[in-house]
Structure 1
Amino acid sequence: MKKLWYNGLFYTMESEGEKVESIITEDDRIVKTGTYNSLLSYLDGEQFEKIDCNGKTGFPGFIDSHLHLIGHGEAKNRVDLTKCSTYSEMLERMKKAVSESGSNEWIIGEGWNENEWDSIPTFSIDDLNRLSNTNPIVLKRTCRHVYFVNSLALNKASINDDMQIEGGQIGFSEDGQLNGLLYDEAVNLVLKAMPAPDDLYLSKAIISAIKDCYQHGIVGAVTEDLSYYGNANLVIDLYEQLLNEVPFHTHVLIHHTTLDEVKDRLHSGNRNVSFGGVKAFIDGSFGGRTALLEKPYEDDNRITGLQVTSPEKLEVITKKARENNLPIAFHMIGDLAVRQGIDAVKKYPNKDKLPDRFIHCALLSPKLIEEMKKLNIVVDVQTSFLYADYPWLVDRIGNSRNHYAFLMKSLLNESIALANGSDTPIDTVNPWQGIYTAVTRKAKNGEVYNIQEAISLYEAIKLYTVDSAASFGQDDKRGLIKEGYFADFILFDEDPFELDPDSLLSVKCSETICRGNIVYRKSEERY
C-alpha cells in the first residue's frame, strides 16, 4: 500500500533551498513528491495510508561515509573510558570492570584520550597488572591506533621486548621495560590473540550499532569490518541477513588481507550490501604521533610518524586491487602519507567507475591538492575530528602547518569530491558534530580554527547525504528525496537552516524513516 507523508517541509537536497510539502512512498521507494493537493489528486481512487509529519522538517537519510559498524556496536557494550579526565579515573573504571568479570575473561575498555586529561600521565604496565593477573586487559585509545595492555595480554599475543613489528611499535618506559603501550600494527597481534567472536556476538554488535545510528538519522554507511573478527565471510553473511530485519545499507570496504578470502562473492550491490575499495593503512594518528609527516613533529623533532604500510607494499596492494577491478581505500592522516597514496594510484591509475577513497587527509599542502584534483578520488573527511583535536593539534604540527589541517573549502573550490563521516567508534557517530564543525570551524574549547575553510550548511548536509552516496556510486538511488530513490528520510522538530550556527551541535533527530517505514521515533525512544 502507498503512504502519503504530508504536513512537512522536506529539503530534497537536489539544489540549495529546494523543498517539497509531501511525499508518496510505496514499499521501499519514493514514488512521487509535490504539494499535498497534487499528491491527493495523484492518489485519487487508490487506497493509501496518510502519515501526518506535524510540521516537521525533513532531509534525506544521512549516510556516514566512513565508520566501523561492528566496532561501534562493540564499544557500546564495553567499558566506556571517553569521559575519564585522569589516568587514575581510567584505572578505577577498569578496577570495577575486573570485579564484575570472570577469571580469564578478556576485559576491554574503549576511548581514553590523554590529551583531554588534567595532567600528562606516565603509563605503567604494573598499574594494569595490579588490577588482574588472570584477565587479559586491553584499553583502546580513542583513535584505536594505540592500546594500553597488561602483561597477560602481551603474553597471549606473544609480544616481547625483542620483537620488531613491521608497521608497529612497542612502548618502553625510561628503564627499558615494556610499559604496556602498543602502536598501530602491534595492536593487531592483540586482536588476533583474542577469542574469535561468534555469530551471536557479531549480530548483537551489528544490531546495537544500527539502532544507535537510527537515533542520529543514519540509514547507511561505508564500513570497514572484515579484517578484525577472524572470519570475513561471516561478517558479510550477517550483513546480508540481518539488514533485512534492521534495514540499513552497508558499503563494505575490503581490507587487503581479506581480499583473497572474499573476492569470489563480491557483487555489484543489493539493498543491504555493496562492496568498495581495498583498504590499507599508510600511517597512524596525530594523537599517538604516528601520523606520517614530511617534517618532524613540532613537539618532538625526533620523529616524523610511523610507516604502517611501506610504499612498496602500497604499490602491490594497488596493483592487486586494479587486477580485481576495485578502487583502493587508503587511510592517510599526515602529508607524507598522502604523498605516498598519490604516488601509488598514479602508478596504477583507477579506471573503475567507483573513485579511490583517500581517507582522512587531515594534513595537506597546495602541492598535494594540485595533484589530487587530477585523480579519480573522493576525499573521505571527518570534520568531527576538528572538535576534539584542538587545541593540542597545534602543538603537534605547529602554526604554519596548521593552516592546511582539516581542509574543506579549498578542496571543494578545486572540485575535488568529498564525503563526510564519523570514523566511529573513534569519534561520535552524531552527524551534527561534523556538520557543526564544518560550518563554524569551532572546537570543543569554543575557539575557531581556519575559518577560511568553513563551508555552508547546505554544503555540509550534502556531504552526509547525496555526496556520501556518490562516493560509492549510488547517488542515483540514495541521498536525495526524489522519485525512484529509496524511501530513506529523517525528520527534525526545527529547521536547521533557521538556527544560529552555534545551535547546530544540539540538533536531534525526531524520526527516522528507512525503506518507507519508521524505524525510530524520539517521542517513543523505541525502535
Structure 2
Amino acid sequence: MRYDAVILNGQLLMPDGEVKKGHILIKDHRISKIKFSSERDINAYKATVKIDAKNKFVMPGLIDAHAHFISLGRNASNLDLLGVPTWRETLEKVKERVANAEPGEWIIGRGWHQEKWFDTPAQTVEGFPVHDELSAISPNNPIILNHASGHGILANAKAMELAGVSGNSEVPEGGDMILKSNGEPSGIFQENAENLVYKAYQKFRSQMSEEEKEEEWYAYLKMAEDLCLSQGITSVHDAGLSYQDGLKFKALADENRLNVRLHTMMADYIVQEMDRDTLKNYVESTRDNLFFDNTAIKAYMDGALGSRGAWLLDDYTDKPGYRGENVTPISSIKKTAGIAKELDMQLCVHAIGDRGNREVMNVFEAVAGDEIPARRWRIEHAQHLNPQDIKRFGELGIIASMQTVHCTSDAPYVVKRLGEERAEEGAYVWQKLLENNVILANGTDAPIEKINPFRNLYAALTRKPANDTEAFYPSQVLNRKQALKMYTQGNAYAEFKENEKGKLEKGYLADIIILNRNLMECPVEDIPETQVVLTMVDGEIKYLVK
C-alpha cells in the first residue's frame, strides 16, 4: 500500500500515557496503522510524504479548549501589554504607539494588570490606575487599554470625551464606572460599563468600508492560525462567536480552506435574537463538519477576579461590602439554556466566583437535570468553588473547562481577594474535581493569556507563578499523564470528538505534532521552553521547522 504520509522513528505518546518507539502510517487524512519497532529507514514504506522524527517526541495535536480565535489575531496587531512588568513601562509602550499613530486614530491595547506591576501609579483608585498620566501622553488620540482579564478597560480623557462620558453617566446593569474622589471618571470601566466607551470606538470603525473590514478579518484569521500551528495547536474551542463570523468560517470550512479545526460557541444574546428556524438550520449545517462546527453557546454569569467582577457568596476580602457582578440576568441564562436544550446545543457558561458557579449549576440542573452529562454542558473557568459545590460538579456531570495558566497568573492576588481559607478550599481545585469524577478540559483563554500550551502545561504541573519557587497550594498539581490527557483526550471529549481526535490510534484524524523534548520525561523546568518541530493537521504538514 502507498500511504499519504509516514512518520518514522518517533517516541510516541500513547493514549494510556506510555511512550513507545514507533511509526505512524497515514492514509486518507487518518492514522491507518501504528507500528512499534526499532529504527526504520526513511524508505521502509511507500508514501508521498516521509518524515523522520529522529527519536523526537510525537503526540496528538494539542486542543485549546477555551480561546478567542479572531481576537488572538487582532491582539497580535494591537498594543500587547501582557507581561509588561511596570506601569511606567506600560506608559512608555503607549507613548511609542502614539508617536506612530495618525491624528485621531484610536489606540487599542490589552494585557495590563495592576496586581502584577512592580511599581505603583502616582494616582490610583481601588488599586487601579487613573487616566491622568495616560491622557497627558495622548491628548489627541483616544485610547482603550483592556485589562488582562478581559473584564475591564482603562480609557483616556480623549476616548471618554468622544464617548460623552461624565461622572453623571448612567451605568448599565452588570457594570461599574469607577470614579475619582471628586466624582469624575477615573477611566476605569468594568464589565458592561465598558460599552460606555466602546460605542465611540465602534462609531469610528463604522467609517471603514466593508471591503476594509473583510480584509482585516482575514488578516486576523491568518495570524491566529499561524500562531496556533507554531505552538502545536491543531484545534481550538472558540469562546464567543458572532453569526456573521460563523458564516465566514463555515464557507472556509466548506471550501477546505481552514488550517485549524474550530469548535465554536455563539454568543448567547445572538442566539436569543435569531429566528429559531434560521438558527436551527445553520447549527445543523455545521454539526458534522470536522473543521468547523457552531454547535455550542457561550454565556456569562459573572466577571473576573482580578477586576473584582467575579460573583462571590461572601464579600471580597480586600473590598468589604462588595461581592462582584452578575453580568447577565439569571433569567436570561435560563432562557438560553432552554434554547440550547431545544436545539441540542452545548451550553458553555463563564463563571469564576463561587456564587457565579453555584448559580450556573442551579440553571443547568433546573433545565437539563440528569441529561447534563449527555449534553456535555460546561462551566468555563470554574476557578473559585464553594467546597459544597465541588462534589455537586461531579454529581451533575458538568465539564469543568479550566485554564491552568490562570492559576499561576492570578496567584499573586487570589489570597488578597478571597483570603487564605477560601483560596485553599476552592481556588483552582483540579485534583478535588478529579476525585469527584469531573471531566477537566484545559485552554489558555488567549489572548487573555499567551497561546503557548507549554507554559500552560507547566502551570498544571507546578502551580508556580513566574519567577516564584513556591507553588500555589501544591496539593492540587496535576501529574504529567493527567495534564496531557486533559489537553488532548479531555478537550476532545469536551467537543464531542473523543472518537475522532486527541489520541494516536488507528482511525483517528492525523492531527499530530513533533516536539523537541519528551514531555513525559524532561525536567519540568524545561517544559515552558518546548519548541514545536512539526505540526500536521488532517495528514498535511502545516508548520515545519527546517
Match of residue 70 from structure 1: 70
For 1:233, the equivalent position in structure 2 comes to 244
Task: Letter of the 1:414 partner, please give it.
Answer: N
Check conservation: 1:23, 1:34, Cα contact below 8 A.
yes
Structure 1 residue aligned with 2:422: 401
Residue identity opposite 1:70 in structure 2: I
Counterpart in 2 of 1:30?
31
> Mapping of 1:318-329 within 5 angstroms?
318-329=337-348
Please tell me whether residue 255 in structure 1 is matched to residue 267 in structure 2. Answer: yes
Question: More displaced, 153-162 or 66-75?
Answer: 153-162
> 1:16 is paired with a residue of what secondary structure?
coil
Instruction: Output the TM-score relative to the length of structure 2.
Output: 0.89
SS in 1 for 2:513: strand
Shift of 1:133: 4.2
Among candidates 450, 465, 469, match of residue 428 of structure 1: 450
Q: Cα offset for 1:35?
A: 2.8
Separation in 1, partners of 2:495, 2:474? 29
Asked if 2 retains the 8 angstrom alpha-carbon contact of 1:373 and 1:415, the reply is: yes
Q: What are the within-5 Å matches in structure 2 for residues 9-48 of structure 1?
A: 9-12=11-14, 14-17=15-18, 19=20, 21-35=22-36, 48=48
Per-residue displacement from partner, 1:171-199 (whole Å, max 9, x unpaired)?
A: 21111101111101122444454225712
Rounded Cα–Cα distance in structure 1 between residues aligned with 2:385 and 2:94: 38
Query: Is 2:389 aligned against 1:371?
Result: no
Structure 1 partner of 2:9:
7
- The answer (yes or no) to whether the contact 1:203–1:238 under 8 Å persists in 2 is no
Between 301-310 and 59-68, the greater mean CA deviation after superposition = 301-310
Residues 391, 151 of structure 1: alpha-carbon distance in 2 compared, 3 angstrom cutoff: closer
**Which deviates more from structure 2 when the two are superposed, residues 149-158 or residues 497-506?**
149-158
Letter of the structure 2 residue corresponding to residue 220 of structure 1: S
CA distance in 2, matches of 1:324, 1:277: 10
Q: Secondary structure at the match of 2:241?
A: coil
Deviates further, 148-157 or 400-409: 148-157
State which of 317, 322, 332 in structure 2 corresponds to 1:303.
322
Counterpart of 1:174, as a letter, is S
Superposition pairs of residues 256-405 of structure 1, within 5 angstroms:
256-259=268-271, 260-261=273-274, 263=279, 264-266=281-283, 267-349=286-368, 351=371, 353-403=374-424, 404-405=426-427
2:473 corresponds to 1:450: yes
Separation in 1, partners of 2:458, 2:415: 20
Instruction: Say what the alpha-carbon RMSD is for the aligned residues.
Output: 2.3
Are 1:459 and 2:497 counterparts? no
Deviations 1:190-228 (A, max 9, x none): 44542257121111111101111112110011012424x
Q: Is the 8 A contact 2:63 2:488 kept in 1?
A: yes
How much does 1:141 deviate?
1.0
- Matching residue of 1:80: 80
Percentage of matched positions with identical amino acids:
27
In structure 1, the partner of 2:144 is 138
Query: One-letter code of the match for 2:436?
Result: E
> 1:118, 1:39 → 2: CA distance?
54
Question: Partners of 1:209 and 1:401 in 2: how far apart?
Answer: 37
Offset at 1:158? 4.8
- Give the drift of 1:39: 9.9
Equivalent position of 2:176 in the other structure? 169
Whether contact under 8 Å (1:240, 1:272) holds in the other structure is no
Structure 1 portions without partners, runs of 5+: none
Q: Aligned equivalents of 1:49 and 1:429: distance in 2?
A: 29
2:159 — aligned with what? 153
Judged with a 3 Å threshold, the aligned counterparts in structure 2 of structure 1 residues 279 and 485 are, in CA distance, closer, same or farther, namely same
CA drift of 1:316 comes to 2.1
The corresponding residue for 2:226 is 211
Asked if structure 1 preserves the Cα contact closer than 8 Å seen for 2:378 and 2:399, the reply is: yes
1:476 to 2:499 alignment: yes
Equivalent residues, number:
516
Query: For 1:500-519, what aligned pairs fall within 5 Å after superposition?
Result: 500-519=523-542
- TM superposition shift of 1:18: 5.3
What TM-score do you get using the length of structure 1 for normalisation?
0.92
Residue pair 1:269, 1:275 contacting (<8 A) in 2 also: no
Bigger shift: residues 244-253 or 474-483: 244-253
**Matched ranges for 1:484-503 at <5 A:** 484-503=507-526
Letter in structure 1 aligned against 2:282 = R
The alignment partner of 1:171 has SS state of strand
- The answer to whether the Cα contact below 8 Å between 1:490 and 1:509 also exists between their aligned partners in 2 is yes
Q: How far did 1:82 drift?
A: 2.0
CA distance in structure 1 between the partners assigned to 2:360 and 2:147 by the alignment: 25
